[in-house]
A and B are shown apart, each in its own frame.
Chain A
Amino acid sequence: MVNPILLIVVPLGLAFALPIVNLISKKIIKYIPVLAFLFNLILSLLLIPKVLEQTIIVKIGGFHPPFGINLFVGPVGILFSTLIALAGFLVSIYALSYIKEGPKEKYHILYLLLLTGATGVVLTGDMFNLFVFFEILCISSYALVAYLGNKAGIESSIKYLIQGSVGSSLLLLGIGLLYGQLGTLNMADIANQINSISSPSIFVPMIFIITGLGIEAAIFPLNAWLPDAHSSAPSSISAILSGIAIEVGLYAVIRVIFTIFNASSFLMFFVFLGVLTLLIGEMSAFSQKNIKRMLAYSSIGQIGLIMFAISLNTQLGISAGFFQMISHTLGKGLLFLSVGFLIYKTGSMKISSFEGIGKKMPITSLLFTIGAFSIVGLPPFAGFASKFMIIKAALTTGQLLFTVLIGVILLGTVIEGAYFFKVIQSIYFKGTTDIIKRDEAPLIALISMSIFVLLIIFIGVYPDFIARILNSAASEFINRIDYIRSVLG
């Protein structure tokens, strides 16, 4: 009996059980997230072939949609849940050796719930349920950003909390306006009836919902919280926030635009917003002296790139966007994880303090370099394949505008290359030339990071391996009629 509901319920149950486990033994709690996400990973991989044949609709409580809540496990949902489980599994292995201070059992509970919330957001088929899982995602990130308890962490957490809670209030207001007009909360049912009401009065709830979700997705004017929050969280959490949380936010935004509101005219605006987000992110990253802030701004740039690809509104464009999300999760996850130990050993986040660390920690530095190459888009890593696919998608549309914008995106990539090269230069080619005693990161962390590297290279060399699921995911967004029909029957 393989039921997709277990993807959400098992981590949730383990999180509820963790306080009791902590009373029994303090040593085993850190292995529970590993187990939970190993389970999720296996379950997701088992579900992929089934889902590619036919989407699974899980009716919770046995009530038919729109009267009960349903989970919609389509190609997109299973793609994201696999990605979340994979990143969660690897990062929780890394955290075995990384998290040594603070209230550890609380860290593990919050970590489990953060990823449970993310899984819930990508699988749910109900608007209010989306809001609830979104809140789980947001509140656990607020708490985790403040986990270290230093000045910067508390301050960025407050900043994030204020903006995030305004966003969630706007989201709820939008859902309320939508419910008042249509009388239903099921996404498919809303999508089915959306054409029956006049466009001006649908525009207001749409703006509220997109603004609310966009704060988590860090779309350009709404991303003031991101660099602080991502740079002051523990590095394992930064990897999850950059690799999973903002992409889940972006997923929610595009789900709302494509499936629910069918606002393809709105996408033109999103193309420009995406390019603007890209440029601003990359340019701010270039001027940073703090390595984690630099990586955080680079995430903003990547989100802009993904937005651009998806807003092309073609089969190839959307699948390229999803591909870029996968390569960003792997690449940025690897970068943050390796930087975590670089910072731990040097005791500083300044890029200048990394001079000569390439000799002290050769393996970790090599892993960082591979991650940077993948994000910049050098072959044979995953970033190259995904960026190449985006450029191909933009060129096949044949519109002059997109061709021009590709030039802008390449400019962004050049800036990206410049600042990553600056860091790599100071790691390898600066500092003393004496032979220093090696002081590597713990073995278990190196193993988890190496798996990231293997995946990056594997996907970079064989992009066809995931082509099928990317294609079905793109068609799920394009054929919204199929979505409605498969839910409402």
Chain B
Amino acid sequence: MIIIISLLVIIMLTAAVSAIFFKDLLNAVIAACMVSLIASVLFYLLQAPDVAMAEASIGAALVAAIFIIAISKTKRHEE
């Protein structure tokens, strides 16, 4: 179990770090949403199903949608 959790944390941190380096903002947003999604799995493993649902539906889905709308209205690439 602990190995799976460690793996999840490592993937989450890698996604967060890759959000720094992506020049394409869309990729960075996807990476940030991956962080949220894995965080919601971790919330579930920490016995917080309410929070996991909130994070998955708000943090991962709606925030991604809002970000993508905003990027479509502005610029996609970081210069």
Direct contact of A and B (CB under 8 A): no
Taking Cβ atoms with an 8 Å cutoff, the residues of B that contact A are: none
